């Protein structure tokens, strides 16, 4: 775990906090809000706010791998990153690692 922190990974939550279908918003030390999503046995990390009008995506719905913003229904497949429905902008994603029952995020968007 220490190695990961030294490599710029930020501890986000315990792995047991996220099951498939769950959403958990965390704030990174740099002030970014990241939404952790339980999808098909994995944890996926995306930006906490919709790229459209900045709505908190934690208030949206996650069905399978499809995340839907609650306001204008922009949708993304968070596994593939594909934009769905009326979405016009991609979702920012963060790298995730799991170690010793903890979830870590690298606090720099990867896409």
Chain positions contacting other proteins, by CB under 8 A: 27, 31, 33, 49, 52-56, 61, 63, 68, 70-75, 85-86
The distance of closest approach from Cβ of residue 70 to other proteins in the complex, given in angstroms and rounded to an integer, is 8
- Minimum distance from residue 98 beta carbon to other proteins (Å): 26
> Of the two residues 4 and 66, which places its CB atom closer to other proteins in the complex?
66
**Whose Cβ is closer to other proteins: residue 4's or residue 71's?**
71
Distance of CA 95 to the CA centre of its chain: 9
Q: How many alpha carbons fall within 13 Å on the CB side of residue 14?
A: 2
Closer to other proteins by Cβ: residue 72 or 97: 72
């Amino acid at each position: 775990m220490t190695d990961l922190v030294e490599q710029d990974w930020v501890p986000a939550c315990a792995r047991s906090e996220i099951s498939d279908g769950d959403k958990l918003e965390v704030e990174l030390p740099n002030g970014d809000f990241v939404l952790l999503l339980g999808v098909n046995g994995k944890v996926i990390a995306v930006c906490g706010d919709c790229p459209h009008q900045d709505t908190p995506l934690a208030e949206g719905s996650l069905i399978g791998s499809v995340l839907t913003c609650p306001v204008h229904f922009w949708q993304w497949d968070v596994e593939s990153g594909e934009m769905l429905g009326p979405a016009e902008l991609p979702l920012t994603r963060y790298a995730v690692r799991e170690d010793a029952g903890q979830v870590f995020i690298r606090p720099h968007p990867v896409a």
